[in-house]
Amino acid sequence: MPKKQKNKLRYGFIGAGGIAGAHLRDLVRRDDVELVAMADISEATMHRHQKQFGIDGMYGSWTEMLAKEDLHAVSVCTPNKLHEQPTIDALNAGCHVLCEKPLAHSAAAGERMLSAAKANERKLVIGFQYRYHARTQFLRQAFDAGQFGNILYARVRALRRRGIPNWGVFGRKELQGGGPLIDIGVHALEMTHYAMGSPKPTSASADMFTYLGNKPSDRIESMWKGWDHETYTVEDLAVGRIRFANGAVAHIEAAFAIHGKNEWNFELMGDAGGASWDPPQIYRDEHGHMVNKEPGWLSNEDMFKRKMNNFVEHCLYDKPTLAPGEDGLAVQRMLDALYESAEGGGREVGI
């Protein structure tokens, strides 16, 4: 049976690495959150957070933590392949869950996670902080106001010239499900999809290339040296196309390593207007002229902070969330189809 909601959110962590630290930084500021426990296979990692944030509970396994601690909410911050089981276990233990992106390593896993949330009447939220970014809100609100008309085309880019992670397991397909597309492309894709009004994806095709990450880093210039090229089994560059039921098409490019410039952006082109995220601009024809409209000011409140505050307020006070698990599943279906297409030589795959 789900636990009764209390006024202070007793909070736990499954996976206490890099992104868990970012969650903690914002949670520790709130007096309606009690940081109770964390579970990680690395004691050293947990000790660092214990020292910094004063969390007493430390466990080598999440099942033990869930059995011993009376938790109301949990952040799941493990590698992608380990999102499904801890999320389902935490939901079954009566916790609300903030699962880091991507929702899972496959849409089938995501569906099981959402079923567990429904069965336990608990909340499952996906860690999509970019939709809390003021620029994304600016464009989504313009979409809602009809500024773009029907969106025909979206161009999505998450490109690092040279940024292959040298920590964690980001180069290991069996643990992550893929490389830059599922790791950073997911952010650019989810904010684009959100700004487009979340149309239903119907098919996708993609091609992917690996040519630098599988080579020793001492011979390649990079932001982060020393990645493990021997276990590197993911793409360096993914290029894909997604079709939507409303006729719109999106092109996505995501890379850990390219001979090209860094880009983090999306652009929308509709039959009544267009937009770009960076710079935040809206393109329209008004009074017989082509005009570029930009906000005079946008809040610079940190999107991670907004994401964490929203999750806590969603759990404690039933405030609506901008990032329900269902949206994570929609994006996961696109990611699955893009990877399946690339594995099949680039043919179009139905979603």
Residue 140 has a CB neighbour count (10 Å cut-off) of: 18
CB of 323 to ligand NAD, least distance (A): 10
Q: Classify each residue of 159-180 as buried b or exposed e, where b means 16 or more C-beta atoms within 10 Å of its C-beta.
A: bbbbbbbeeebbbbbebbbbbb
Alpha-carbon span 261 to 268, nearest angstrom: 20
CB of 7 to ligand NAD, least distance (A): 27
Pick between residue 99 and residue 151 the one whose CB is nearest to ligand NAD. Answer: 99
- For residue 17, the minimal CB distance to ligand NAD (Å) is 2
Nearest to ligand NAD of 174, 294 (CB atom)? 174
The residues facing 201 across adjacent strands are 244
Q: Which is nearer to ligand NAD, 84 or 253 (CB)?
A: 84
Judged by beta carbon, residue 140 or residue 307, the one nearer ligand NAD is 307
Do residues 188 and 265 lie in contact, with contact meaning Cβ atoms separated by under 8 Å? Answer: yes
Residue 151 or residue 257: which is nearer to ligand NAD going by CB? 257
Report, in Å, the least distance between residue 242 CB and ligand NAD.
20
CB 267 within 8 A of CB 275: yes
Q: Which two tokens stand for residue 157?
A: 């880019």
Q: Following CA atoms 59, 175, 115, 1 in sequence, which dihedral angle do they give, to the nearest 10 degrees?
A: -10
Closest distance between ligand NAD and the C-beta of residue 105, in Å? Answer: 9
Radius of gyration of the chain (CA): 20
Q: How far apart are CA 238 and CA 201, in angstroms?
A: 18
The CB-nearest residue to ligand NAD is 17
Of 303 and 315, nearer to ligand NAD (C-beta) is: 303
The CB-of-161 to ligand NAD minimum distance in angstroms stands at 19
**3-state DSSP of 114-183:** HHHHHHHCCCEEECCHHHHCHHHHHHHHHHHCCCCCCEEEEEEEEECCECCCCCCCCCCHHHHCCCHHHH
Q: Which residues bind ligand NAD (CB under 6 A)?
A: 14-20, 39-42, 45, 62, 77-80, 82, 100-101, 127, 129, 167-168, 183
Residue among 62 and 311 whose Cβ is closer to ligand NAD: 62
Give the closest residue to 128 by CA, choosing from 322, 330, 345, 351.
322
Strand order in the sheet with 96-99: 57-59, 33-39, 9-14, 73-76, 96-99, 124-126
In the complex, minimum distance from the CB of residue 14 to ligand NAD, in angstroms, rounded to a whole number? 6
